[in-house]
Chains A and B, each alone.
Chain A
Amino acid sequence: MNPAIRAKGAGNKAFVNARLIDPANQTDTVGGILIQDDKILKSGADVTADTVPDGYLVTDLNGACLAPGLVDMRAQLREPGFEHQETIETAGKSAATGGITTIIALPNTDPVIDDVAGVEFIARRARKVGLAKVFVYGAVSKGIEGKEITELGLLHQAGAVAFCDGIQTISSARLLRQALAYSTFFDGMIVQHPEEPELSKGAAMNSGELATRLGLSGVSPLAEVIQIERDLRLVEMTGGRLHFAHISTGESVEVIRKAKKRGLKVTCDTAPFYFALNENAVSDYRTFAKLSPPLRSEDDRQAIVAGLADGTIDAIASDHNPQDVDSKRLPFAQAAAGGVGFETLLPIALELYHNGHMSLLEVITKLTHVPAGLVRVKGAGTLEDGTAADLVIFDPDRPWKIDPYQFQSKSKNSPFDGRLTQGRVLRTLIDGREVFTEGA
């Protein structure tokens, strides 16, 4: 941004005639927003073309939706260590295209983010790139080896918003117990990848008819709920705050629903893969549909949709996991698991709205306000006066066909390849700067 222009107030923008979705206040109205430099000055129904003060660049959105920029609480940026798959810069461009303005990155890089220097490195790189705001999870165990606990408190102080062991399950009951107990003194949160590792060893997909037909070793969907049930006992024992990432089975939803009723401090998220696809996407050994956790049965998919609708599942995260061609063009059992997700997060989540499972406001809330609250990132996921002008403007109805080769991400491994979908990001703003403009 040119500071000279900013000084003259040309950085002041107004968007009017928008469908204003404000998840913090739970409102969905026609209105506008005033942006002064990098902050939201004011938003609401009373901001119209007639009330915008002088000195603002006014844009009429013709009824397009305006919401806080998406807060993606689970993504892999692959930098440092795997820059051939993604970098903070390519991830930032991809996120901007997807309307994401805040990313919480997993620590399973090389080196692992298990010390203060790592946290600071990511923060510095992200600032330099100047796209999405990037926060990190600190590793729970040193080197993600599942043995020794990291300096949770110092990591927290340095800016790690919560803790997890990347794509690994924290399988040691002792380690998880200590992490949960210790992190209570600064209200830290532990994020678990719930998959009982012994049961899932060597598995390539969900167990069941298709795995049997394809001759692939499968993991029972129960491996997820078995891990969750044990972990809930540890939450009860320690009073810690535990979040289950990308839950994928009906049993998990049921168990977490009951735990919440009992008042345990547990939350969970899921990724679009698990409410929009089932195991049949694997069809003929399609490695783009190899994910972790694996895609489940249609019954499980429907249970995940129900869990989102009734509020058991708190948030939606992209689970962005870039993999290069060589990691995917392999026999299924050898191929890497994971799919890119930034640029499909919003349209696939909007299917929940288009299919009548949730209101638009509810969908956006799970993509913004709720995840921001879980990781305690202040000023994100809201249209509150005075907060950063991180915004997404989108047309919820615009149809398009997903073509990964158009993605900004360095990797193209999307299981949604070729899917017809609805909902397109038109503009993304970060600190008042337009970092993505559709068609530009």
Chain B
Amino acid sequence: MSVMGPAADHYPHPHLLGIEGLTPGEITLILDRAQHYAEKNRSADKTSNILAGATVVNLFYENSTRTLTSFELAAKRLGADVINMTVGTSSVKKGETLIDTAMTLNAMNPDALVVRHGDSGAVKLLSEKVNCAVLNAGDGRHEHPTQALLDALTIRRHKGRLHRLNVAICGDIAHSRVARSNILLLNTMGSRVRLVAPPTLIPSKIDRMGVEIFHNMEEGLKDCDIVMMLRLQLERMEGSFIPSVREYFHFHGLDRAKLANAKPDALIMHPGPMNRGVEIDSEVADDVERSVIREQVEMGVAVRMATLEMLVQNHRKMGGQA
């Protein structure tokens, strides 16, 4: 399917903590399986009992409706028992530490923990203390692997490939785990990534990750196949990264005029939730010809089904010792 070679025959890792470390074959394996679920999810018979008897805990230290719902639905469609735990970040500081929570949950013998946390590296730290599969649902500004996988699946469905594409990732790179996971995935699969953002939102030395950097949207979008917009994460910003939302939209918000620089069939993507009128104009966000934003959400469930299935089955094979 890809110039990167065939899919791997199995997923060899106990956890999914990030895109970093995955081979092209492993990524293709996940996407192929997710494509299977994407088709199944559009059919009348959406559920299976492949994970019947398994317990999946969604442990979310950050508020998230979309991702949490997506993971919950994915686990339920596979027949697993699901528990959602949403822990406000403030209560972590007050009482139980991350490790204590992990140990407590671990004692209840879950098969998989899906974890979102506001601090980079927190999910990895937790994975070291439990003996079930851990799936990173976003850690700080570090990684959000299922988002990159669902983006990749969406792109592959439209472009038929993941190599030799020009992908522009635009906006708040500095605070984005989505950007990091996407850079890693797209580079691994052989596409070219450009980052487009004002200088204050470009993290230091990110060019070393193998990307081109643009500050001007018109130049950055020139001839690209994919325009991936990021949410401006005002809640993570300490200090003045941008002068105002108005100015940001003026120079770096995606509208029809700026989009005209991209290829005519360029896809518009956004991980959601969107700040309409901040990083993206409603006119392009809702353009049914170009925008695949809703399909991304749909693929999210499929990718989470595929990854949960692989991880829980690995966990079972290893006799419950991840």
Contacts and interface: CB of A to CB of B under 8 A. Distances in A.
B204 A214 contact: no
B206 interface: yes
A208 B204 CA distance: 5
B87 interface: no
Nearest to A208: B205
B120 A215 contact: yes
Contacts of A333: 119-121, 140
B112 to A, nearest CB: 21
A251 to B, nearest CB: 16
Given A202-B238, A213-B180, A332 B204 contact: no
Contact of A214 (B97, B99, B120, B238): B120
A299 interface: no
B204 A331 contact: no
Contacts of A214: 120-121, 142
A220 interface: yes
B205 A215 contact: no
A218 B204 contact: yes
Nearest to A329: B99
Interface string B172-210: 000001001000000000000000000000011110110
A208 B207 CA distance: 10
A217 B180 CA distance: 14
Contacts of B209: 209, 212-213
Nearest to B92: A334
Nearest to B239: A201
A108 interface: no
B85 interface: no
A401 to B, nearest CB: 22
Contact of A332 (B121, B180, B205): B121
B141 interface: yes
A215 B238 contact: no
B125 interface: yes
Nearest to A207: B204
Contact of B143 (A212, A215, A217, A330): A215
B98 interface: yes
A285 B205 contact: no
Interface in A317-342: 326, 329-334
A324 to B, nearest CB: 12
Nearest to A285: B121
A220 B97 CA distance: 30
A211 B124 CA distance: 16
Nearest to B181: A215
Interface string B231-258: 0000000110000000000000000000
B98 A330 contact: yes
Contacts of A220: 204
Contact of A285 (B125, B177, B208): B125
A211 B206 CA distance: 9
A214 B180 CA distance: 9
A215 B180 CA distance: 8
A216 interface: yes
A331 B180 contact: no
B97 A330 contact: yes
A214 B124 CA distance: 11
Max chain A CB contacts within 10 Å: which of B20, B124, B205, B239?
B205
Contacts of A332: 119-121
Interface in A180-209: 201-202, 207-209
Contacts of A334: 119
B59 to A, nearest CB: 14
A284 interface: yes
B315 interface: no
Max chain B CB contacts within 10 Å: which of A202, A214, A329?
A214
Nearest to B143: A215
A326 B100 CA distance: 11
Nearest to B204: A207
Interface string A258-289: 00000000000000000000000000110000
B122 interface: yes
Contacts of A218: 203-204
A87 to B, nearest CB: 24
Max chain A CB contacts within 10 Å: which of B125, B139, B206?
B125
A284 B204 contact: no
B188 to A, nearest CB: 14
A215 B124 contact: no
A331 B142 contact: no
A212 B142 contact: no
B98 A212 contact: no
Given A326-B97, A330-B97, A209 B205 contact: yes
B97 A215 contact: no
Max chain B CB contacts within 10 Å: which of A201, A207, A217?
A217
B117 interface: yes
B120 A285 contact: yes
A201 B119 CA distance: 16
A224 to B, nearest CB: 15
Contact of B124 (A207, A284, A329): A284
Contact of B208 (A201, A207, A209, A284): A209
B139 A215 contact: yes
A334 B99 CA distance: 13
Contacts of A330: 97-98, 125
Nearest to B238: A202
B263 to A, nearest CB: 29
Interface in B118-133: 119-122, 124-125
A215 B99 contact: no
A212 B120 CA distance: 11
Nearest to A286: B121
Interface string A331-362: 11110000000000000000000000000000
A376 B124 CA distance: 48
A215 to B, nearest CB: 3
Contacts of A211: 203-204
A308 to B, nearest CB: 27
Contacts of B119: 331-334
Contact of A216 (B120, B125, B206, B208): B120
11 contacts: A201-B238, A201-B239, A208-B205, A212-B203, A212-B209, A213-B180, A215-B177, A218-B204, A285-B121, A285-B124, A332-B120
Interface of B: 20, 97-99, 117, 119-122, 124-125, 139-143, 177, 180, 203-206, 208-209, 238-239
Given A215-B140, A215-B141, A330-B98, 9 more contacts: A207-B205, A209-B209, A212-B204, A213-B209, A215-B139, A216-B140, A216-B142, A329-B125, A331-B121
